Amino acid sequence: MAFWQRLQTYWRRRQQLRKSWRAQRYIALDLETSGLDPKSDQVLAIGWVTIRPPVLDYASGQYFVTQAQPELKQSPVVHGLVQKDFAAAEAPEEALKQLAHELEGAVLVCHHVQFDWQFLQRFAKAHGVRLQPLAKYDTLTFEAHRLKQQQHHIARGSLTLKACRERFRLPEYTAHHAFSDALACGELFLAQAYQYAGNADAPLKELLK
């Protein structure tokens, strides 16, 4: 039975990837972590927002602090988070269950998705939650490919979220806050997608290459 369920899931996913990218739902997400190693560092906070092209639904935004007893390490420097910010931390399971529901049938959008996804997978597994997005889209990788195709020199720092947004003349957000960075990533995704596909009904699988 499990085999047939996996086969059905596989075919449903293939059919969905063939549909227009504008007909999809996207979850733009960002994490705040205590470090760079998903094996030893903590997820401190999660922020996300829903996108249904051409609309980024600001009212759908969610932000959860997920550690009541955090290992702050460099977080006060990088994220501006201090101990008092964690006084009203949410139960990680509740945040993850809500995220799992939102990701079902949706495309996960991150700036450096491999980093966020590694943290998310380990964090979710530790709390008995399974995250299954339809697909994953990386605004950083898309921008790197775009610049290479235009034969631009990719200088140090030119692929940060801020730098990528500046090339699309998007407004500046306060960096290193999970919710504002999720919004910034979602807006960058829409700018990239419409520049690539315009108003054409390009299939989602073409956008994900």
Residue range 140-150: average pLDDT?
92
Determine the Cα–Cα distance for residues 84 and 35; give it in Å rounded to an integer: 19
Q: And the tokens for 156?
A: 């140090």
Whether the model pTM is above 0.85: yes
Question: What's the whole-number average pLDDT of the chain?
Answer: 88
**Higher-confidence residue: 175 or 144?**
144
**Cα-Cα-Cα-Cα dihedral of 127, 128, 129, 135, to 10°?**
100
pLDDT tens figures, 31-64: 999 888 999 899 999 999 999 999 999 999 999 9
What the block records as the tokens of 153 is 């020199």
Which percentage of the chain shows pLDDT scores above 70?
89
pLDDT at site 77 = 43
Confidence of residue 76 (pLDDT cuts 50, 70, 90): very low
Report domain extents, the chain: 21-207
Per DSSP, which regions of 94-193 are E strands? 107-110, 135-138
Contacts of 15 (CB under 8 A, 6+ apart): none
**pLDDT reading at 75 higher than 60:** no
- What is the structure's pLDDT at 20? 93
Mean pLDDT over residues 73-85, rounded?
A: 58
CATH no. for 21-207: 3.30.420.10
